Structure 1
């Protein structure tokens, strides 16, 4: 997959079939569109292309909105690389770019730089300055500039019945099962491992603290989760606590991972974990010993869940 970080980079002499959107989560609904895009591209000897934007337009145009996203940019790229897509264009979204008129956007972006021969787009897509142009306008521009427009109907969208908003809500509620079903993969959290206070090690549950650099990344509901990670080619399972460690007077939210049957130093390394199941809310215990006993129970329940996964 070719990745371009600016759509105004050097032009190449090929034609494309393109779809446009933020594709947050790259969920099962998105992948239905991407599959269609790839199939049409192959049949017509065109380059399948997604045009997306970063930062998310709402982060630029509605700066007061505390929007949280399902994917970091690197996560989104990694998922799309497995989709069969030929080209991903990630264009920097700015207020200046948002002020392009609809026709200028079509002519300069879709026609001159992306060289679109076909545009696949949702029935409710709006574009141009103040998002005033509709799909009917896009069809008219297509007739003028020589590209086709294929509309994704409301029926097709409703048939999948999935949205990034629904997935965000599920994760905020701690409903990992629903979120993962809608995503078509396990929700992930990744970052650099930093040093904590070492309390987990004293309890017999050494933890790796994940520091997520991207402030816009959605952190699921506080609580204890069953997780897995691929570390140096080996699949490892464990449990993770998202929370404030009230039993030991924690004063900030942390993401702490304990890997089963693992011995080693992870500090400074990057780790990405997949959330498999939420076990319980975070609790404040009367003593550290009570916490340790609960962690033993959590581990037993986690291992039972993992065993069931393997059986299935």
Structure 2
């Protein structure tokens, strides 16, 4: 793999799935294939944590992991690829990328079957994994909400492969005009490039929840949604983005295999995705850097 750094965050507390603890095994399975010299690991509390009246399940542990991840990110050379754990691990990583590039605009491309745009008030489950993008936009309890230069502008958010929305999320998208690139549109990688270009961004952070993939291509996800993206379409889209925009970082989340054998079967697909994120791309701009 290229000179990217890796941050492994085996957080499970943000998940609302019955398979939440398997996220630890998934993160560790991916960790085993990463270059040791360029990989840091964030210790995750064993305790589930308390909501503390915030409306976010396990809030106290989530806030602690965010703080620990921020400390590790400060030690790593950019760009950083974060390995989850649930989608909540992206909170610190996306904020770090945004704050590290104040001289240029960074778009967040959220490859995910779900929008993760619930607020604590609209969430039907209280699980933070479904609230993390809203937190990045600044709408979350203190301790999780992004602020200042680390706060994402909704005009620079692109949802990709999203196909299952809660009512509150659909209302938020309609009200804010957040761009959505559907599964069928990803057959042409130029469509996701056009969507990001329309934001005015010059750099891109790429988030991948593995449930964006079609369930026929990967078993180890906690919330599979039918009619997803095929792996080759996803990797084509990633390479197209990297060929056009500076690369501010990425995350791969929500790997929850049933067993070590099952993890091994899925790792081939995951390593292809990591290769698209970190391997050479002909014609790509110089990697965005800074904020170490």
Q: TM-score, normalised by structure 1?
A: 0.28
| Structure with greater proportional strand content | 1
Asked which structure has the greater RCO (Cα within 8 Å, sep 6+), the reply is 2
